[in-house]
Amino acid sequence: MTVGESGQPLATLPKPDLQTLERTWTDALATVSGANQQLDLSRGKPGVEQLRLSDALETTIAGNYISADGTDTRNYGGLMGIAEARDLGAEIMGVPAAEIMAAGNSSLNLMHLVLSTALNLGLWGDNRKWRDSDSIKVLTPVPGYDRHFVLCQHFGMEMVNIPMLEHGPDLQRAAELAAADSNIKAIWCVPKYANPTGNTYSDNTVEALAALPGQAAADDFIVLWDNAYAVHHLEQPGDALASIRDFAIAAGTAEHIVQFASTSKITFAGAGVGFVASGAKVLQSLVAHLSVQTVGPDKVNQLRHARFLNGRVTEHMAAHAEILRPKFALVDQILTEQLGALAIAEWTKPNGGYFVSLDLLPGLAKQVVAMAKESGLVLTPAGATFPYGVDPDDRNVRIAPTFGSLQELSGAMEILTLCVKLASARKLLAQS
Amino acid sequence: MTVGESGQPLATLPKPDLQTLERTWTDALATVSGANQQLDLSRGKPGVEQLRLSDALETTIAGNYISADGTDTRNYGGLMGIAEARDLGAEIMGVPAAEIMAAGNSSLNLMHLVLSTALNLGLWGDNRKWRDSDSIKVLTPVPGYDRHFVLCQHFGMEMVNIPMLEHGPDLQRAAELAAADSNIKAIWCVPKYANPTGNTYSDNTVEALAALPGQAAADDFIVLWDNAYAVHHLEQPGDALASIRDFAIAAGTAEHIVQFASTSKITFAGAGVGFVASGAKVLQSLVAHLSVQTVGPDKVNQLRHARFLNGRVTEHMAAHAEILRPKFALVDQILTEQLGALAIAEWTKPNGGYFVSLDLLPGLAKQVVAMAKESGLVLTPAGATFPYGVDPDDRNVRIAPTFGSLQELSGAMEILTLCVKLASARKLLAQS
């Protein structure tokens, strides 16, 4: 065992030891880089073993295209989705089916629809439209999901960062800001196994979020509740997430909570069913807007999904967990073995979801991502987990362990941890 | 045989004969109305026999989700669509696959995307955006497709009617208007078996349309080419439609032609694949815009369709024609028998598509639609085939014969022709 891997914080080492380690790790990285490999930790995608769990989707129709209420799913119409698909949404989201629209293959598309409707047409059938404001601002807990940020940028909405704490976003800060500025119109949330931090919001946080629209200066403030990992546990029972719907009904804000989910990481990524849930007025506004641009969702695919999944989502997700648990365990094991005692990084140990969030010494994220790339490992671009791609401390790296094999994951984590150690040693040497 | 059904123009009958007929037809309508029926000629949907032609879609995957180029269609990504789906688009549209994006289940959604992109982001990667104009106007050949009109209204685009002539829209008029007003940004076309007139544009019309962007005052003028019935012939060979792409390449306007098609009325309405074709810059702009709102189309459904249809679209559409031909023949037969000699209506005899367009004496369309409704027959609302729902002559009625059985169609046409005769007789009596 080399010095520095024996369990001593890197910053406490004498300079010559640090120099020795720097050379050792440089050589080690050169060795593993020589393998001419193509490794990738950036892909938040299910792996092929997971996809195979849903291959039986193709056999659920078996010549019977008629939904439970008699709808011929092969024909046009039905913007709210078929009844059994909305039931599936209820099973995933914990919201009554009557409050859910089952749609096409993309919940991102539904988020785009909600923002576009809020901006241009209004969500409640009255005169409230975001575009009538001087400017439009959205609260963005960070680190967060890059596609939420891209949507805001697309619509010209200014993002205001809110720190992510252990139990969810800093709601005190969010409430102060929202109460003081009527241009603040929304907050993004990934409440369960958050992307990328993996934490689940506490009951108090959920209750405070449900109350937020009532405290905001804007009367058209909404909570964007992207429950992308609602049933994506690694262990049973998974984290419990309180019902924001129930809190919102108690707080009188149900029409200001918009929830999203999809089967993308339950069955087939990109060929699943997306869901949006909210109050009756919001759903009505979304249907009116949708009716301009489509005759209806793919109801055959909805029927496939409902027949395949209804009543057995938990069981199905347990099979996913069997595949994913060793991958997340391997990531944590290698991070612990390689970085655990060096005091140069912190990382999350999520109970579900798709990501591990790794925080480095400040100022090293871009450098580590670049070093990894030179060594044949693709990482999510540094900064991607922050609005405008700007991580103010340049320290967050998102690890997506799901897509590759355990062997690839092991090789990738070896390079990543070597890059982190090397960049950290060089930083400390430069400071010494 | 009653007077007036012997073959004499209604307007030439003496008043007492007209009065007799009016009473006869009133009684006849009362009799058929008593049946408490629910008939419908408004639904431009395939019938169940047609849907059954594609039930084998469900068995094309058979456990093999990998597309020809090795893509796992179950996973995320691929905004342009898989290669074999683009090949299918090429077979339907007569455009090289490289110029086609294969997308989700709705070509209407792609039209929305194109208008939204032209308006807010621009189609060519430069500064040209429609929203920078004082106002935005779109040329709308009439009668036409109501959903095109609704899209324009949604985006606040003013519609300027262009008369539909036998060989397509009045292009001389369109060119004069477009050359004189730089706020005119587009023209809608359903070039084959047009909705609702059923006519196919002549080669000269297609060539003139390809030249139109070069003549328009606006440098961001586009032709919206909704080829919804590209392969939907009733007879073989069907109408031949010239390639607007080839004319456009010759005219240097290829980046100003945007073509649409879908499999909605080839396989399953609402569960098919939509296509958009244009120049490379336009496709690039559309992909950029799409990337904000979705991770990709449903590639599994694309693969299903490609495996089921590629190389046999013509054969498959011939099976549709077998089902549809008797329905269109029955409509023409009843119109001819009931109205042929009375000189109170004109109608189209399309070689394909989904509609028959019926023109009444001016001022009677709303009345006939209302009378039919009272008698248990739903018709497309009068005016729906015109922008803002306003048929300036109040005479056009759209007949959709595809959805119901021959028996239902016969009953519906009996009521419709009775209403037309009765309304016409009353009008003539009021004038006499």
- Tell me what percent of the residues of chain A surpass a pLDDT of 70: 98
Asked whether residue A274 falls in the same domain as residue A323, the answer is no
A110 vs B contacts (CB less than 8 Å): none
Q: Helix B83-93 to helix B299-309 angle, to the nearest 10 degrees?
A: 50
A104 vs B contacts (CB less than 8 Å): 104-105, 298
Which one of B286, B313, B340 terminates a domain? B313
For residue B32, give the nearest of B396, B357, B371, B405 by alpha carbon.
B371
Q: Which is it for the CA torsion B428, B429, B431, B432, positive or negative?
A: positive
Asked whether residue B184 falls in the same domain as residue B284, the answer is yes
| Whether B75 and A296 lie within 8 Å, measured CB to CB | no
pLDDT of residue B246 exceeding 60, the answer is yes
Nearest by CB: B271 against A46, A51, A301 = A301
At A3 the pLDDT is 41
| Whether A296 and B58 lie within 8 Å, measured CB to CB | no
At B432 the pLDDT is 81
- The pair of three-digit structure tokens given for residue B363, joined into one six-digit string: 């001022």
The pTM (predicted TM-score) of the whole model is 0.96
Using DSSP bridges, classify how beta strands B377-378 and B100-102 pair: parallel, antiparallel or unpaired.
unpaired
The alpha-carbon gap from A250 to the nearest alpha carbon of chain B, in Å, equals: 33
Q: Are B116 and B260 in contact (CB under 8 A)?
A: no
pLDDT of residue B1 exceeding 90, the answer is no
C-alpha span between B95 and B86 (Å, rounded): 10
The dihedrals phi and psi of B155, each to the nearest 5 degrees, come to -90, 5
- What's the distance, CA A91 to chain centroid? 20
pLDDT of residue A394 exceeding 60, the answer is yes
C-alpha span between B379 and A269 (Å, rounded): 41
Nearest by CB: A154 against B104, B292, B300 = B292
Asked whether residue A211 falls in the same domain as residue A320, the answer is no
The dihedrals phi and psi of A239, each to the nearest 5 degrees, come to -60, 145
B293 vs A contacts (CB less than 8 Å): 106, 108-109, 112, 151
Which band of pLDDT confidence, cut at 50, 70 and 90, is reported for residue A63? very high
> Which chain A residue is nearest to residue B148, measuring alpha carbons?
A292
Nearest by CB: A295 against B55, B270, B297 = B270
- The pair of three-digit structure tokens given for residue B82, joined into one six-digit string: 């898989």
> Which chain B residue is nearest to residue A64, measuring alpha carbons?
B55
| Whether A51 and B45 lie within 8 Å, measured CB to CB | no
At A35 the pLDDT is 66
The alpha-carbon gap from A112 to the nearest alpha carbon of chain B, in Å, equals: 6
pLDDT of residue B405 exceeding 70, the answer is yes
At B35 the pLDDT is 66
Asked whether residue B327 falls in the same domain as residue B308, the answer is no
Average pLDDT, chain A: 96
Rg (CA), chain A: 23
C-alpha span between A396 and B244 (Å, rounded): 52
> Which chain B residue is nearest to residue A51, measuring alpha carbons?
B74
Using DSSP bridges, classify how beta strands A137-142 and A158-165 pair: parallel, antiparallel or unpaired.
parallel
C-alpha span between A297 and A291 (Å, rounded): 11
At B359 the pLDDT is 97
> Which chain A residue is nearest to residue B265, measuring alpha carbons?
A75
Nearest by CB: B295 against A63, A75, A106 = A106
At B82 the pLDDT is 98
Q: Are A339 and A417 in contact (CB under 8 A)?
A: yes
pLDDT of residue A2 exceeding 50, the answer is no
For range B145-174, the mean pLDDT? 97
Instruction: Write the DSSP string, B107-138.
Output: HHHHHHHHHHHHHHT-SSSSS--GGGSSS-EE
pLDDT tens digits for B248-286?
999 999 999 999 999 999 999 999 999 999 999 999 999
- In a domain, residue A403? The reply is yes
Nearest 10 degrees: Cα torsion A388, A394, A396, A400: 70
| Whether B77 and A270 lie within 8 Å, measured CB to CB | yes
- In a domain, residue A61? The reply is no
Task: Say whether A260 sits in a helix, a strand or coil.
Answer: strand
Asked whether residue B309 falls in the same domain as residue B319, the answer is no
The alpha-carbon gap from B362 to the nearest alpha carbon of chain A, in Å, equals: 30
Which one of B313, B347, B381 terminates a domain? B313
Which CATH number does the domain housing residue B327 bear? 3.90.1150.10
| Whether B269 and A74 lie within 8 Å, measured CB to CB | yes
Residue predicted with more confidence, B68 or B236? B68
For range B289-305, the mean pLDDT? 97
CA–CA–CA angle B264, B64, A229 (5° rounding): 80
pLDDT of residue A36 exceeding 90, the answer is no
At B34 the pLDDT is 66
The alpha-carbon gap from A188 to the nearest alpha carbon of chain B, in Å, equals: 16
- In a domain, residue A341? The reply is yes
At A37 the pLDDT is 76
A interface with B, Cβ–Cβ below 8 Å: 45-46, 48, 51, 54-55, 58, 61-63, 65, 72-78, 104-106, 108-109, 112, 150-151, 154, 264, 268-271, 292-301
- In a domain, residue B126? The reply is yes
Instruction: Write the DSSP string, A118-140.
Output: HHHT-SSSSS--GGGSSS-EEEE
Which band of pLDDT confidence, cut at 50, 70 and 90, is reported for residue B368? very high
Instruction: Write the DSSP string, B13-24.
Output: S-HHHHHHHHHH
- In a domain, residue B105? The reply is yes
- In a domain, residue B305? The reply is yes
Average pLDDT, chain B: 96
Tell me which of B294, B303, B354, B402 to substitute to probe the interface with A (most A C-beta atoms closer than 10 Å). Answer: B294
At A78 the pLDDT is 95
Asked whether residue B229 falls in the same domain as residue B328, the answer is no
B151 vs A contacts (CB less than 8 Å): 292-293
| Whether B108 and A295 lie within 8 Å, measured CB to CB | yes
Which band of pLDDT confidence, cut at 50, 70 and 90, is reported for residue A38? confident
The alpha-carbon gap from A244 to the nearest alpha carbon of chain B, in Å, equals: 25
| Whether A268 and B62 lie within 8 Å, measured CB to CB | no
Asked whether residue A348 falls in the same domain as residue A403, the answer is yes
Which CATH number does the domain housing residue B199 bear? 3.40.640.10
pLDDT of residue A338 exceeding 50, the answer is yes
| Whether A292 and B76 lie within 8 Å, measured CB to CB | no
At B304 the pLDDT is 98
Q: Are B5 and B340 in contact (CB under 8 A)?
A: no
| Whether A150 and B62 lie within 8 Å, measured CB to CB | no
| Whether A74 and B54 lie within 8 Å, measured CB to CB | yes
pLDDT of residue B425 exceeding 80, the answer is yes
The alpha-carbon gap from B26 to the nearest alpha carbon of chain A, in Å, equals: 36
Which one of B271, B293, B313 terminates a domain? B313
pLDDT of residue B422 exceeding 60, the answer is yes
pLDDT tens digits for A221-272?
999 999 999 999 999 889 999 999 999 999 999 999 999 999 999 999 999 9
pLDDT of residue B21 exceeding 60, the answer is yes
For range A27-34, the mean pLDDT? 89
> Which chain A residue is nearest to residue B113, measuring alpha carbons?
A293
> Which chain B residue is nearest to residue A150, measuring alpha carbons?
B292
Asked whether residue A140 falls in the same domain as residue A265, the answer is yes
Q: Per-residue b/e over A112-146, b at no fewer than 16 CB within 10 Å?
A: bbbbbbbbebbbbeeeebbeebeebbbbbbbbbbb
The alpha-carbon gap from B20 to the nearest alpha carbon of chain A, in Å, equals: 44
What are the percentages of helix, strand and coil residues in chain B, rounded to 5? 45, 15, 40
Query: CA end-to-end span of chain A, whole Å?
Result: 25
Which band of pLDDT confidence, cut at 50, 70 and 90, is reported for residue B236? confident
At A1 the pLDDT is 33
- In a domain, residue B151? The reply is yes
The alpha-carbon gap from B116 to the nearest alpha carbon of chain A, in Å, equals: 11
C-alpha span between A179 and A174 (Å, rounded): 8
> Which chain A residue is nearest to residue B111, measuring alpha carbons?
A293
Asked whether residue B183 falls in the same domain as residue B285, the answer is yes
Nearest by CB: B270 against A55, A75, A106 = A75
C-alpha span between A96 and A94 (Å, rounded): 7
Q: Are A402 and A367 in contact (CB under 8 A)?
A: no
At A425 the pLDDT is 97
B384: domain range? 10-50+315-431
Tell me which of B57, B298, B354, B403 to substitute to probe the interface with A (most A C-beta atoms closer than 10 Å). Answer: B298
- In a domain, residue B58? The reply is no
Enumerate residues 6+ apart whose C-beta is below 8 A from B401: B41, B324, B327, B328, B330, B331, B356, B409
Rg (CA), chain B: 23
Enumerate residues 6+ apart whose C-beta is below 8 A from A331: A356, A399, A401, A409, A413
Task: Say whether B92 sits in a helix, a strand or coil.
Answer: helix
The alpha-carbon gap from A163 to the nearest alpha carbon of chain B, in Å, equals: 25
Q: Are B111 and B97 in contact (CB under 8 A)?
A: no
Asked whether residue B159 falls in the same domain as residue B263, the answer is yes
Asked whether residue A36 falls in the same domain as residue A109, the answer is no
B77 vs A contacts (CB less than 8 Å): 270
pLDDT of residue B99 exceeding 60, the answer is yes
| Whether A297 and B109 lie within 8 Å, measured CB to CB | no
Report the domain count for chain A.
Answer: 2
Tell me which of A119, A276, A293 to substitute to probe the interface with B (most B C-beta atoms closer than 10 Å). Answer: A293
Asked whether residue B359 falls in the same domain as residue B387, the answer is yes
Q: Please report, as a single letter, which amino acid is at residue B370.
A: A
Tell me which of B57, B67, B300, B354 to substitute to probe the interface with A (most A C-beta atoms closer than 10 Å). Answer: B300
Task: Say whether A310 sits in a helix, a strand or coil.
Answer: coil
Tell me which of B148, B268, B302 to substitute to probe the interface with A (most A C-beta atoms closer than 10 Å). Answer: B268
pLDDT tens digits for B25-55?
999 999 998 666 789 999 999 999 999 999 9
